[in-house]
Amino acid sequence: MCAESIPAAAGDPAKLGDVNINIGLGLDVIYLRANGLGEIRHLQTAKCISAQNHPSQKAGIVVVKECDLSDPDQIWVYDEEHELVLANLLCLDMAETRLSDSPRLMKCHGSGGSQQWTLGKNNRIYQVSAGQCLQVVDPADIKGYIAIAICDGSAAQQWQIES
């Protein structure tokens, strides 16, 4: 394992904390130290991941919406358990039995699996237990639905954390 800095265009390392790149299983994975936070911006649409309704709504789905830097409901924390936590309330979760379901917000459990995500090289967000990447279903659709799919490097799977 080697330590490396995030390029300035990808964020301010001073704000994000130490960044380590772990090369294993053929994927280059970037782990942010706890308290790495910011908006998760979809590069193709320039929209940010947010709760469809309210971030405290358990089992609520997440979508991409117009980014609003003043909206605390678009601020995610990437914690030491590799969970993505929205508004310090709920974690981004994938149903482990039905991969066709959309990602949703659930109580954080800290045991990995359905809530373990890695921020990968090539701007991918990888769901560890499913072995797939987060993507916008139809970038032209105003509803902004998000799903996971086999990682293919497409523009629909490109994300950036903006602090």
pLDDT of amino acid 36: 66
- Contact predicate 37/77, CB 8 Å: yes
| DSSP character at residue 13 | H
- The string over 23-37, giving b where at least 16 C-beta atoms fall within 10 Å of a residue's C-beta and e elsewhere, is eeeeeebbbbeeebb
Residue boundaries of the structural domains of the chain: 2-7+14-162
Question: pLDDT class for 3, splitting at 50, 70, 90?
Answer: very low
List pLDDT tens digits, range 51-104: 998 888 889 999 999 999 888 889 999 998 999 999 889 999 998 777 678 899
Once rounded to an integer, what is the mean pLDDT over residues 109-131? Answer: 91
Tokens of 70: 């003043």
Report the chain's mean pLDDT, rounded to a whole number: 79
Q: What is the pTM of this model?
A: 0.75
Per the DSSP assignment, residues forming a β-bridge with 92 are 105
Q: 3-class SS at 150? A: coil
CATH C-level class of 2-7+14-162: mainly beta
48/107 Cα distance (integer angstroms): 21
